[in-house]
């Protein structure tokens, strides 16, 4: 009597495809994001972060990063581009 054949389940291939799908989704999200963290720095008074907003770098405090991510412009917050 022939044994029942169980169809091959390509679980490894599916997990690789899922991983690649997640990487593509993350890359698309980062591309759409206006604000990207570039570096963390500690100043004399407070910790600030160097962020890139629409291709220009700014030094911002954590609460300013939240406002930038919510749609406020660096001009609204009084931030000046780094190097100017």
pTM for this model (two decimals): 0.52
CA neighbor of 37 nearest in space, from 4, 69, 71, 75? 69
pLDDT value at position 26?
Answer: 74
Cα–Cα distance measured from residue 18 to residue 16, given in angstroms and rounded to the nearest whole number = 5
pLDDT tens over the chain, length 84 residues: 555 665 665 677 778 888 888 888 777 766 666 676 666 665 556 677 888 888 888 888 888 888 888 888 899 999 999 875
Give me the pLDDT at residue 18, please: 82
pLDDT at position 2: 58
- The predicted pLDDT at position 69 comes to 81
Q: Which DSSP category does 81 fall into?
A: B
């Amino acid at each position: 009597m022939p044994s029942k054949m169980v169809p091959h389940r390509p679980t490894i291939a599916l997990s690789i495809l899922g991983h690649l799908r997640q990487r593509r989704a993350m890359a698309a999200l980062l591309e759409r994001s206006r604000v990207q963290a570039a570096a963390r720095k500690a100043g004399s008074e407070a910790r600030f972060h160097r962020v890139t907003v629409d291709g220009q770098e700014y030094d911002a405090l954590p609460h300013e990063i939240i406002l930038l991510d919510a749609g406020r412009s660096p001009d609204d917050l009084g931030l000046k581009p780094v190097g100017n």
